[in-house]
Structures are given as C-alpha cells and as structure tokens.
Structure 1
Amino acid sequence: MSAEEKDQASRSDNAPVPPAYRALFEPFRLKHLVLKNRIMSTSHAPAYAEGGMPTERYQKYHEEKAKGGLALSMFGGASAIAPDSPPSFGQLYVGSDDVIPYFQEFADRLHRHDTALMCQLSHVGRRTHANSGGWLPAISASHLKEPAHGSFPKAMERSDFRRVADAYAAAALRCKKGGLDGCELLIAGHLIGQFWSPLMNQRNDEYGGSLENRLRFGFEILGRIRDVVGSDFIVGIRFTADEKLEGGIDIEEGIEIARLHQQSGLIDFLNVNAGSNWTNAGVAETVPGMAFPSPTHIAALKRVRAAVTMPIFHAARVTDFATANAMIKDGDADMIGMTRAHIADPHLVRKYREGREAEIRPCVGASYCIDRIYRGGDALCIHNVATGRESFIPQVIRPTDGPVRRVVIVGGGPGGMEAARISAERGHKVTLLDAGATLGGQVLLASEVSWRRDLLGITRWLADRLTTLSVDIRSNFYAEAEDVTALDPDVVIIATGGIPNMELVNGGELAVSSWDLLSRAVQPAPRVLVYDDNGSHPGPVVAEYLANAGSAVELVSPDPEIGVRIGTTNAIVHRRNLYRSGVTLTPDRRVITVERSANGLGVQLRNEYTGEIETRQVDQVVIECGTLPNEDLYLELQEDSTNLGRFDLEAFAKGKLVPAQDNPKGRYQLFRIGDAVACRDIHAAMYDAMRVCKDL
C-alpha cells in the first residue's frame, strides 16, 4: 500500500459521514469482529482463479474494494471442498492445504485496509458436470437429474455422509489457518440444500421425509465444522428461504429453518435469499438483474428477520445507498451486500464519504458480469473495464505529467464518451463531435423495452462526468474530415460506431433494420418477421418491442436457439417475455430471399440442416445482422496521421498503446475504437477507449 493510498484511506475513513445514509455507516459487531460499516461484497466466483487458487488477479480485484472502504469482502463463490465437487465456472478449490498460503496472503492484503475477509464453501452435489476434473459421479440426496447442468447424480450412501462432513470441516479449518475472519456455507441449490428441498430429496431414511430429517445432514456438517474450528471462528450459511416452486421450500418452512439454525448455536449469521438457482427459469431470479425490482426478495427477508434475532445478511440487486440505508434503518438486515455495485465501482464507499457521490459509477443491472461466467468467461463489468484488470488498468485515472494535448473524438456512443472522459481526466483539452441530438449511440436503442431502461445509466453517468470535466460537446454535428482537422488536433479518435448490416439477405433493401423501428423512424406493421443473424440482444429486443406495439411477430434465426450469444440470466428474461408476448420463435432457419408479393412481402427460409425451403407472407421484414463499421471518416483522415491509424496489437492486448511511426509528416495520431472497427459490444468499445486514452 503506497503512502498516497494510506493517506487517502485515512482521510476517507475519518471523513464525517454525510447524514443521508447514516445508518449504513454505523459499525456492526459480528461475534468478536467489529465491521466498520454495514456494506459488504458477497461471495461469488469471478473465474479469476489459477489452478483453483486465489492468485494475484483474484486478490487485487478484492483489494480494490477494500481500498474503496467496504467493511467485509466475501469471496470464493461455491468454493469446492472435495474432488467430487468439480468446478463448473472457475471456482476455488479448498480441498487441499495448498490453498492456505494464498489465503494468508489474501487476508494480509485486505486486513491492511481494515476490511474483513471470508470464504464461501460448498459441495455442489448434483449442480455440476461429472465429465470434468477426476470424472467422478455427482452425488445428491436422490437420483434426480439437475435441470440447469444436466447431471444425473448418485444418491449418497452411508460412507459418503461422514466423508463429506469431514471435507467441509477440513476446508473450514484451512480458512481459519489462512487468517480469514470466517466462512460461509452455500446451501441454496447445492448439496446441503438438495437435502433440504422436498423437490430434490426423495429419501425414505433418516435423511428424508420430515423437515427434521431433511436438515439432519446439514447440521451434521455444521457440527463437524465446529469440532475443528472451535467457537471463536465465524461460520454462517447462505440459504433460500422460499424456493418459489410448488412443492418446494415455502416461506413458512424457510422461517422454521432459520429458527432451527438459530436454536442450534452452530452458526453466527444467516444470509437470506429466495428463488431456485437449480432450474433453468429460476437462475435469473436468484441473481436478479435489471428486469427485477431493487431490492429483490425483500418480502422473504422481512419474514425471516421478524422470526429470528441473530445477524442477517442480504444481497439481491441492492445497487444504491438509499436502498441499502433504508434496509438497515428499517431493521430488515444487519449487513447489505452491494456486490455488483462494487464491480461497477469498487470505490463507491470512499467516494460517498468524501462527498463525491455524483462520481459513483452505477451498476445498471446488465448482468454482463454473471452472464460471462455462465458462458465460460471471466466476470467483467459492462462499463467499468478496469474491474478484474487491476494489475494493468487503473480504477482511478491520474492526470498526465506530460504536455496537455488537443484530443478530438468523433462519435458520442459509450466508446466515444469514455474516451472523452478518460482524456479529460488526464487533463487534456477534449472536443467531442456527435451527429445525434442526444449522446448515447446504440444504448439509446437498446433501452427501448422497459425492462432494459436502466442501460441508460451508462451514458447518463458518462454525460454527467463530461459536463463536470468541461468537455466541449458538439451535438447534431455530422463531422467531415475538414471539421476535424480545423480543430488542429494532436490525437483523433474515431468512435463513429457502425451502420446496420442489410447485405446478408438477398432483397435486404426491401427490409428495415431494428434501428429503424427502435428509433421510431418506421412504424410497426401488423405481420412482422424479424430475422436475427446477430444472436445477441438486438433481435429479441426489437421482437419484444414489436409485440408490445401489437404486431404479430415471428423471430427467426439460423442459430440453434434464439439469442445464442446472450448469457444465461438475460436469455431467460428475453425468452420469458417473448413467450408471454406471443412471439413465435423459429431457430435453425436462414432467410435467403425477401421479395415483393401481392400480399406484402414474401420471405424464403432455408432449414440449416435439411435444406428444406419454407415461405412466409408478412407485411414487414426486420433484419438484425449486426453492423458494418462506419469507417469513411477514419479512412479519409488516415493519410495525414503520423501512425496511419496503426498501433502494436500485442501491446494493446496487454493494455498498452504503442502507436506506429509510419508518417513523419503526419499532423496527428489517429485511432478508431468500438464498432467503428468491427461489430462488438459496449464493453469492447469502452475497453478500446481505455487502452487508447489512459496513458495519453
């Protein structure tokens, strides 16, 4: 920790708490541990582990939040405790003593910031894939297949119970030896929860049937943990108080479960959630995004809170201090998880305490982070590209110690706005030219269905920062090359995005784009075919928009499923809404021709596997095949640039900009970012902007 960071942390921790959220900043005693405020980051698995160990990247990600001032960081979502609990998305492995030195280093990192640290432990049971790791069979209370992962488990036999309990105890002891402040057992949907739920437990022995029997295995595990860690180590559980499924754990049984655990004296806190993370439809509800209210599952939380006196934690789409403070003030919970809010801005606590609440980058609930994990990637924020890259991308942009440069940016989407923000934070003189009347680019279109409206938080935050930083913003300005060069720039950044790609379909000139409809340039027709060869959000968004407008809609895609590139939690919401709206979903069909007919438009579809041709008669065809780069301005400006638009790609992949020196007579450096290069997404555009501008 540098001297500058120590001074900053000291000033932040000692700053008077603004009165608006005073309850949230009161200390809380958890057993012997005094937490400096009521804000925590709950356990999750960002897939930053290396070989199942929390190495430097993993630790720095959490340390950044500790620098930012939160009281408790929990890590290691569903950390595996045994070899027959193989990770399905990059979890830690706490089934070996090899993890202890990493825990010790990790604890030292966070404790120096007065932040407590706990790890979540789990045996996933049937909630995994058995064809990985050591190829050991999944185990569960019964033989029932798990819908979300598709595994068929072995029903646990006598020898398994003691083995698994001992593995939990050994893992908890490793947490204690590693200097952690406690551990949490993940119950919901995982092995212990599979015994709790009547929908998953069909046993007729002493571990099945009555609630007492279904809880028996979990209590045996907690007893073994206490045997080895003693009474002075903090142990809690994260559980589902209401599965919200017919025949599952309902709220009354959830309340009784909470009471029985309090009476046992074996645990120190309850982390309360609701929903069913083991069903395909339930995943999104247990990790709620922008389609769900903030906070989510508050009714279940209040019922549990009224029934017990022990400490209660909660985390389910709490993204702002006003909501979190109200929950503490009303006594609903003792600690509030703002996990994804910290992914969006790990310094939000410090910024608030320093009177800089307006600078907090908001979590918009896009679920880009969790959806990347479910698709086998690492957790990244849709609009904070530094998170997870702390070793080479700064969370705080420092002023340049070099000359002030004139930076001209063309394009006011998220990439161009982020480039302007970073350049201005560096202290450069920035001009932003945008052809639109309102900054935001494609984000304005993406938010045109009500449940995705919070995406506007990305560009609203950027617009506020640009105003604060006195960026010269010129809207309704369609820039030509001479307009750019007239500003005598040192650096030109082309962020002009793309234009709808209508070229992939014969007769595409008879169709309209998703942009035409979402921008209100074209009105919906009665019968509409939406052709989605993009596979991401735009196709389902425009289909839902049309259905809401009263159109009869068929959504066609050559992919094996609709929205094949959309991550799990968002795909679930899209499909739910499309089915409810009566949209016909037709995968595995490629549109090959659109032509005029007596009844409107005739469309030919070809089955991707049989080659069979089908026809449709509709009034309107919408083509969503991504974008082509809007690159004319970039190409015009290349000749007079010093680098001809080129830079070292290997260095750029590692976060550094090394421009080429191709043209000594050039007048400016030239770069293009985001969809002006190729059709990608918001994060890619903003990551381009960061890498180009952070060291200017």
Structure 2
Amino acid sequence: MTSNVSTQVRGAFVPVQIGPLQLKNRFIKAATNEGMSPNGVPSRQLVQFHAGIVAGGAAMTTVAYCAVSDDGCTLPNQIQLNEQTLPHLRALTDAVHREGGAASAQITHGGCFVFTPQPGQRRPLSASGGFNKIGLMSGMFFKRQMTRADMQRIAADFARGARLAKQAGFDAVEIHMGHGYLLSQFLSPLYNKRTDEYGGSLENRLRFPREVLRSVLDAVGREMAVLCKFSITEGVRGGNHIEEGVAIARALEAEGAHALVLSAGLNAESITTMFGSSFPAENRAVVTNPIMKLAMYLQQRFEKPREFKPLYLLKYARQIRAAVNVPLAYLGGLTSAEGVSTLCDEGFDLMAMGRVLIHDPAWVRDLQQGALTQSGCTACNRCVAMMYTEGGTSCVLGRAGDPILNSLPAAG
C-alpha cells in the first residue's frame, strides 16, 4: 500500500480472500460485452483491453459472456469456451498476469436469449417452452422446455467450461445467473412456468442454478474462485424483487459460492434497472445490426426514462449484505472516492465497475495515488452500443478501439 492512499479509501486497498484466490485489493472490472472476439476468438484488442484494466490498478478483470455450449451463444462473435479458443484465452490471461492482476471468465448460456441460432436450432432451450418473445427479433418464435437430460448436459457443459477456463489460465469463473440468460430464466417467474420440481416456488426455481453451481464447484472449486452474478431485483412487474433476491443469495451461499456479484434487471424487460439510467437514441445510429436496432428502439419506447444516481442499487444490496456472510461484490453506480468509502463502511468485500473503467482504465490507480476522487464517466451508456463497432467497446469521450487489432486473433 502506498503512503498517499487517503484515509477515505484506504480500506479498499487491503487484500481480500475469495475462495482459494487472494486479490491484492477490492476492485474488480465487471463483465461487459466488448465485441472483441471475431468468430468467437479473442482478439489482440481484447487482450490489450483487459491487460490495461489491471495495469490501471484493478485487482481482477472479468472477461464477459464465455459461452459453455454451442447452442448458448447469445450474439455473433461471442467467446466460446472450447479447445480452439484456449491459446487465445491463454494469451489474454498471460497478459493480465504480467500486469500483476487476476482474470475471471464469466461462463454463461443464453437459453432463449439468443440471436444467432446454430444450424438446426429451431427452438432454443429455456426453463419453459412456448412462445419466445425474444425470438421476435431473431425468427425463433418458439422455445423448448428443457428436459432433465438437457439439464444434465448443460450442467456438465458449465463444469467443462470452468475446467477449460482453468486450463486457459483464469484465476476465477463467474457463473452468470442474471439479466435474462438461461439460469436467470429458471430463477425468474417471468420465464419459469414449469409445474415440476424445477418450477413454481422459488426453492424449486433455484434447483437447476444450484445444480450448475455445484457442478462447477466440484470441477474447479478447490483451485479457482467461483463467483455467481445474479439480479437482486428484476425491476419489472411479475419478476423477482429484493425479497427473492435475499433468498437467492442465501441459497447460493448455502451451496458454497465463494462470492456473489450483485447486479439487477433484465436485458429485455428492465435494462434501466441494470444500468441505473436510460439509453440515448444515438445508440441506434451506431448499431448496424437491424435486430439490435429494433431491440434498442423497443427498450427506449417502453421503458420509463431514468436519471443516473450514484450507488443506485445500494438500497437493495445492503439488504443482501445483512442476510449473508459470503463475500459480496457491489455493482451499480460507483463513481467516486466517497462511494468507495461508503461501500467499505457498509461491509462490501469487493467493488465491481464497468463504465467507469471503460472510460478510464487507470481510475483505481489514480484513486490510490490521490490523483482524483471522482470519475469523469457521465453514465451516458453510449459505450454499450460501441461494442457493435469495428474497434469494439470504448468510451465515446476517449479513443475508439483499434479495428486492426480487433481483427487479429490474440495468439499468433
């Protein structure tokens, strides 16, 4: 620890233990889709992006949306965890480790939230079958209720994905259980209409996500940190609210998760709950994919405008903190030294940031050195649409990503 760390943020620069992994401080880069994996292969731009995050002071960076199954890819160019991507992922983790940080792979399956069907995939998997409202944008108008055999296969895919992540040099895996992807589709009463032991009560809706967590812990839990990211409130009528969020946290703690990442909202129904502020109309001008243009239009048309407020999820997250002892990563509107101090005082073990570190990868280092106390990020959300540009995700107030680097595979 340097001598010029202010008393206000000193506690955030104390090492923390997450399962078998010790992090040098409490700051982690939250998973954000960077659009830097052409044909599912990490690019040199992605390596540079994540290495820059840890060079800027964060203890760990999270590589988003690593699909564990071919039928679970949400978007074009999403990373797939397989033997072909291992050398490129190893190039990324090696670069992160050279900068003195740790790397986490966010492992996920899109369920019915997919826009790029695989050959022969007419009906995507989900907790329940029937009409697929997400499929209105991709032509997959119906989804298929998962059978027990499907669940066993996907749970095994998560375990295999975690083992591949370890082989690629990752220090942690983050199981994505939020935002409307497959495991979230089991948790949410908006999506889960089953009448068997995997539907109905929250205890039943938790059954498959808990099985996935157990399979991952059994596969890698002694050697890697295993985190779970979930929506502590879905922010939409008929969805889970904070009371369910507390119960989910308790169940994941009981199952053995090493840490929980506290997010909120659903991609389709309540994205402003997730980001804490509205999306600008300018985003549609950046996006060339007509499906994504339509999705953004519908979100802006039907969601109420929301003005950004710092620590916008704190009132919910502190209820989770009061209910469990497992390490918690707060996510949602951390932008200042004052916010860091508040989260330390409130007992959060980790602080996850997305937009702030996209805007300024060196924000943590500058905070530690006393060079700044407030981020310059305006929470305009225009970085979200930048993932569809040739250079990938970047802050519109800074330098755009390099299209050439983003076209080159990470290894080779």
Deviation, 1:324, is 2.3
Measured in 1, the distance between the counterparts of 2:390 and 2:404 equals 22
Deviation, 1:100, is 2.0
Q: Superposed, which structure 2 residues align to 1:295-334 within 5 Å? A: 295-331=311-347, 333-334=348-349
CA 1:293–1:335: 2 relative to 1, 3 Å? same
Amino acid at match of 2:397: H
- Post-superposition CA distance 1:135-183 (Å, at most 9, x none): 4531101125454553431111232111111111110100111111110
Whether 2:232 is the aligned partner of 1:244: answer no
Whether 2:171 is the aligned partner of 1:181: answer yes
Corresponding residue of 2:79: 92
> 2:36·2:391 contact (CA, 8 Å) conserved in 1?
no
Corresponding residue of 1:199: 190
Bigger Rg, structure 1 or 2: 1
Measured in 2, the distance between the counterparts of 1:294 and 1:31 equals 29
Corresponding residue of 1:353: 368
Corresponding residue of 2:264: 274
Secondary structure at the aligned position of 2:84 is classed as: helix
Deviation, 1:15, is 5.2
In the superposition, the TM-score normalised over structure 1's length comes to 0.51
Secondary structure at the aligned position of 1:51 is classed as: helix
Deviation, 1:21, is 1.7
Measured in 1, the distance between the counterparts of 2:105 and 2:357 equals 17
Partner residue of 2:181 out of 178, 187, 190: 190
Measured in 2, the distance between the counterparts of 1:27 and 1:144 equals 48
> 2:214·2:255 contact (CA, 8 Å) conserved in 1?
no
- Post-superposition CA distance 1:39-64 (Å, at most 9, x none): 11111111011221222110101111
Corresponding residue of 1:255: 246
Secondary structure at the aligned position of 2:157 is classed as: helix
Deviation, 1:35, is 1.5
CA 1:88–1:294: 2 relative to 1, 3 Å? same
Corresponding residue of 2:281: none
Whether 2:172 is the aligned partner of 1:154: answer no
Measured in 2, the distance between the counterparts of 1:236 and 1:191 equals 17
CA 1:378–1:107: 2 relative to 1, 3 Å? closer
> 1:43·1:120 contact (CA, 8 Å) conserved in 2?
yes
Measured in 2, the distance between the counterparts of 1:301 and 1:103 equals 32
> 1:241·1:274 contact (CA, 8 Å) conserved in 2?
yes
Amino-acid identity (%): 30
Deviation, 1:246, is 2.8
- Post-superposition CA distance 1:318-370 (Å, at most 9, x none): 22232122112221x21111221111111122223333227x76111111111
Number of equivalenced pairs? 373
Corresponding residue of 1:30: 18
Whether 2:395 is the aligned partner of 1:381: answer yes
Whether 2:353 is the aligned partner of 1:338: answer yes
Structure 1: segments with no counterpart, 5+ residues: 1-12, 393-696
Secondary structure at the aligned position of 2:112 is classed as: coil
> 1:146·1:278 contact (CA, 8 Å) conserved in 2?
no
Corresponding residue of 2:87: 101
Amino acid at match of 1:344: H
Secondary structure at the aligned position of 2:213 is classed as: helix
Secondary structure at the aligned position of 1:75 is classed as: strand
> 1:79·1:93 contact (CA, 8 Å) conserved in 2?
yes
4+ residue runs of structure 1 moved beyond 6 angstroms? 374-377
Measured in 1, the distance between the counterparts of 2:130 and 2:337 equals 42
Structure 2: segments with no counterpart, 5+ residues: 279-306, 406-412
Q: Superposed, which structure 2 residues align to 1:489-508 within 5 Å? A: none
Corresponding residue of 2:158: 168
Measured in 2, the distance between the counterparts of 1:47 and 1:111 equals 22
> 1:53·1:99 contact (CA, 8 Å) conserved in 2?
yes
In the superposition, the TM-score normalised over structure 2's length comes to 0.84
CA 1:146–1:379: 2 relative to 1, 3 Å? farther
Whether 2:32 is the aligned partner of 1:19: answer no
Corresponding residue of 2:70: 83
Measured in 2, the distance between the counterparts of 1:111 and 1:148 equals 38
**Alignment RMSD (CA, Å):** 2.4
Deviation, 1:383, is 0.4
Relative contact order (C-alpha < 8 Å, sep 6+): which is higher? 2
Secondary structure at the aligned position of 2:28 is classed as: strand
CA 1:384–1:130: 2 relative to 1, 3 Å? closer
> 1:128·1:138 contact (CA, 8 Å) conserved in 2?
yes
